[in-house]
Amino acid sequence: MGLSNSSTGKKVSSNLKDFSNYDFTVAIAGNPNVGKSTIFNGLTGLNQHTGNWTGKTVENAAGICIHNNQKFLLVDIPGTYSLMADSEEEKIARDYIDSNKANATVVIVDATLLERNLNLVFQIMNLTNNVIVCVNLLDEAKKKGVSVDLNKLSKLLGVPVVGTIARKKKTLNNLINTIADVCNKKIEPKPIKIDADIDKIFERAHEIVAEVVTLKNENYNERDKKIDRILTSKKFGIPIMILFFCLIFWITIVGANYPSELLSSLFANIEPPLKNFFTYIHTPTWLLSLLFDGVYKTVTWIVSVMLPPMAIFFPLFTLLEDLGYLPRIAFNLDKCFKKCCSSGKQALTMCMGFGCNAAGVVGCRIISSKRERLIAILTNNFVPCNGRFPFLITIATIFFTSAAHAGESLKSSLIATFIVFVIICIGIGFTFLVSYILSKTILKGATDCTLLELPPYRKPQIGKILIHSLLDRTLFVLGRALSVAVPAGILIWVLSNVQIANISILTYISNFFDPFAKLMGLDGYILTAFLLGLPANEIVLPIILMCYTGAGSLVDMSSLQSLFDILSANGWTIVTAINVMLFSLLHFPCTTTLLTIKNETKSWKWTAASFLIPTVIGIVMCMMVNLIYNVVLIILT
């Protein structure tokens, strides 16, 4: 008896034929934030495959659970509050349940929010008979003095009811036993049917909860209400949100310095023996240079610069998510986005963009309206991802603090944090502005009514946070960045080492762009570096240094003073630094993000729009700053 799949450690996503060979199909349904994914993961372990519903951008997961020598295919259908609305998630959930493809449908509900969750239970019971209700989060309910009579609830609903604590294997065994009994017809649910009128559904849910739920303390959620009165208040909500993000950015900035230096030193120490080995096996000189000066230095730079801030930012971001604070951010910004005729959920996707814009674009799936989802996708690049943070931080540190002591004191790190925060605020401002313009022009339409749930505050699961953020987010995003870094390294090496009339192709390109770049307060090398940095934003700065030093390969300058000296010697001033930071914020998305946008929108038109919109704005902004600077300079002289 029990769950055998977790012990196998076999990842079936690499062996998809297992998903066409099973005994029963089980649908896993429920509202968002009820622990549906945790239960699904607990039942399937590593036996999972993730993809998209046919013809849809909404993600689905399927998993295999082996129990008593029977194989159950579990299908995690999109989380939804209702089957009556017309969002993509709700249509998919309704159509799948109504198709009777599943031998059983498990509806996960929150023991502390039973009345609200029963709304979906009744709607599902009107579509299919083989329903199992799983009352989850019993541990949370116990802490709050909430007791649910599961047997009485089962009698009133006419279906099996199982109580679970998703992290406890014993309760999951009870659930899979019940699923097996329903699929094998040992238990035949006879659900009550209620008129589809929503008022009657809410009325019946209220009556049932009154009979099965006992409260030791009527004000069990008073603590959450008190916290929300502060965190979501008009007076303190947004300032506290700003402080949270400043703290996260500061921790990321300070914390990433040391592991970045260690990784950089590690890769520098590994390079000589590796190069000696390739020399020993008589690798041609040109190939040796291509592999190490091109590919190796590009890949190792991205890892050393990109990995540490992601490894810090993503766990901190996931911590806020696990605590239940992210929905409060969406709530605080909801009015701002509504004034822009877009969705309040865009605040969540915008926050995800701080970690990775590609992840933020994928996160736009939570927005039901196609129009509002497109707005969120097209504007996600206005918040800088972790790939741009190191560049912004470095420039802010060496040009707005004392270069000789940059990064060595609390004061310099706080100044750098403040400058980066100002840049981020500019990006958020453009998110609102462009969202409004799009909603009034090419993406006209009425704003959908968005339901923003404020889930209970919960104790974060540190182990889950580390695994989810480091494996599912950090390494996934890093892997995608490295996949484009290799060809980028080859291209950079070719352009910088192949010469025509003793001048590299890279120099020809830079000279071509130089007049236009000067209008932006930049130079041809800087603009060329941004273009070559299309595969990954992390390599923009080393390309600039490579151009200035004529090294023919990416340059890693660990000393901030050395960086300042090189940039200053090549004409950089404060206004250059400002324009470089602005253009880093306001320019085209990286290749990974562009490919993700194409995948999500299924349109080259919208992909091109996502490239052009921020780039045109960035060019105009830099030209304006440069013009104002020159006019002021003329007036003063």
233-279 pLDDT tens trace:
888 888 998 888 888 878 877 787 788 888 888 988 999 999 999 99
Amino acid 222: pLDDT:
77
Number of Cα atoms under 13 Å in the Cβ half of residue 336: 17
Amino acid 295: pLDDT:
83
pLDDT classification of 19: cutoffs 50, 70, 90: low
Residue 556 has pLDDT above 70, yes or no: no
HEC string of 539-566 equals HHHHHHHHHHHCCCCCCCCCCHHHHHHH
Amino acid 72: pLDDT:
94
Cβ partners under 8 Å of residue 255, min gap 6: 308, 312
Task: Name the residue with higher pLDDT: 133 or 495.
Answer: 133
Amino acid 89: pLDDT:
67
> pLDDT (tens digit, 9 = 90+) per residue, 475-489?
766 776 677 678 877
Residue 404 has pLDDT above 60, yes or no: no
Amino acid 606: pLDDT:
96
Distances (CA, A) of 43 to 4, 17, 32, 157, 465: 9, 19, 18, 25, 19
- Write out the two tokens for 7: 């012990």
Model-wide pTM > 0.95 = no
> pLDDT (tens digit, 9 = 90+) per residue, 160-190?
999 999 878 888 999 999 999 999 999 999 9
* Average pLDDT value over all residues in the chain: 83
Q: What is the mean pLDDT of residues 6-28?
A: 57
Residue 607 has pLDDT above 70, yes or no: yes
CB atoms within 10 A of CB 473: 21
Residue 149 has pLDDT above 80, yes or no: yes
pLDDT classification of 554: cutoffs 50, 70, 90: low
d(CA 361, CA 607): 12
Task: Name the residue with higher pLDDT: 233 or 550.
Answer: 233
> pLDDT (tens digit, 9 = 90+) per residue, 487-504?
877 888 888 888 898 888
Amino acid 246: pLDDT:
82
Task: Name the residue with higher pLDDT: 468 or 260.
Answer: 260
Amino acid 559: pLDDT:
61
Q: What is the mean pLDDT of residues 128-152?
A: 92
HEC string of 146-187 equals EEECHHHHHHHHCCCEEECCCCCHHHHHHHHHHHHHHHCCCC
Amino acid 352: pLDDT:
81
Q: What is the DSSP code string of 253-316? A: HHHHHHHHHHHHHHHHHHHHHHHHHHHHTT--HHHHHIIIIIIIHHHHHHHHHHHHHHHHHHHH
Amino acid 200: pLDDT:
85
Q: What are phi and psi of 442, to 5 degrees?
A: -75, -15
Short-list 44, 213, 39, 215, CA closest to 117: 213
Q: What is the mean pLDDT of residues 378-404?
A: 80
Report percent pLDDT > 90 for the chain: 35
Cβ partners under 8 Å of residue 51, min gap 6: 59, 60, 62
Q: What is the DSSP code string of 434-487? A: HHHHHHHTTT--PPPP-----PPP----HHHHHHIIIIIIIIHHHHHHHHHHHH
User: Is there a contact between 576 and 565 (Cβ–Cβ < 8 Å)?
Assistant: no
CATH of span 5-220: 3.40.50.300
d(CA 297, CA 307): 15
Q: What is the mean pLDDT of residues 548-564?
A: 69
Q: What are phi and psi of 376, to 5 degrees?
A: -65, -40
What single DSSP character describes residue 592? Answer: H
Residue 13 has pLDDT above 60, yes or no: no
In the chain, list all ranges with CATH 3.40.50.300. Answer: 5-220
- Write out the two tokens for 583: 């253009």
Amino acid 5: pLDDT:
40
pLDDT classification of 315: cutoffs 50, 70, 90: confident
Task: Name the residue with higher pLDDT: 71 or 407.
Answer: 71
